[in-house]
């Protein structure tokens, strides 16, 4: 097989995939009547719909669990003084750890990280000057 034949075969393959995807999306988004679509295409469209429903159910379950946890936390936070104090201490400790990590990052930054914008604008100005000099 020559490179030219390979190119033609690849083009035919891509055109057939393009046609299949075009038909799939026409049926999927109801631009084509289901009575006019092939059974093969209806099968894949139904698989696509089932996948969307499964993804939606999964996200709904995750959101439901998160909401239940938040409501439980809020209820415990309002009623239990020990829980509130422990939660506030952990929150303050987490905030302090984040602040310490940020300060450590700022202290250990390299030269390029510190002066990135300065270097960027100097390079930009030098390129502009060189462009003006070479145009003249």
pLDDT in tens, 15-60: 999 999 999 999 999 988 889 989 999 999 999 999 999 999 999 9
Q: What is the pLDDT of residue 106?
A: 81
Of 77, 81, 17, 26, the C-alpha closest to 48 is 26
Q: Which of 23, 28, 22 is nearest to 50 (CA)?
A: 28
3-class DSSP state of 36 = helix
Could you tell me which residues come within 8 angstroms of residue 15 by beta carbon, excluding any fewer than 6 positions away?
Answer: none
27 exposure class (CB count in 10 Å sphere: 0-12, 13-18, 19+): buried
Identify whether the C-beta of residue 20 lies closer than 8 Å to the C-beta of residue 45: no
**pTM of the prediction?**
0.53
Q: Over the stretch 71-91, which tens digit does the pLDDT of each residue have?
A: 999 999 999 999 999 999 999
Nearest to residue 41, comparing CAs of 29, 55, 57, 53? Answer: 29
């Amino acid at each position: 097989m020559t490179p030219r034949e390979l190119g033609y075969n690849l083009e035919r393959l891509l055109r057939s995939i393009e046609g299949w995807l075009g038909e799939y999306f026409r049926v999927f988004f109801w631009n084509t009547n289901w009575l006019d679509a092939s059974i093969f295409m209806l099968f894949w469209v139904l698989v696509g719909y089932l996948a969307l429903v499964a993804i939606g159910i999964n996200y709904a379950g995750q959101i439901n669990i998160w909401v239940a946890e938040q409501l439980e936390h809020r209820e415990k936070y309002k009623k239990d003084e020990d829980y509130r104090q422990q939660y506030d201490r952990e929150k303050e400790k987490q905030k302090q750890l984040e602040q310490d990590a940020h300060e450590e990052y700022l202290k250990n930054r390299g030269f390029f990280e510190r002066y990135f914008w300065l270097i960027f604008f100097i390079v930009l100005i030098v390129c502009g000057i060189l462009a003006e000099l070479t145009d003249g």
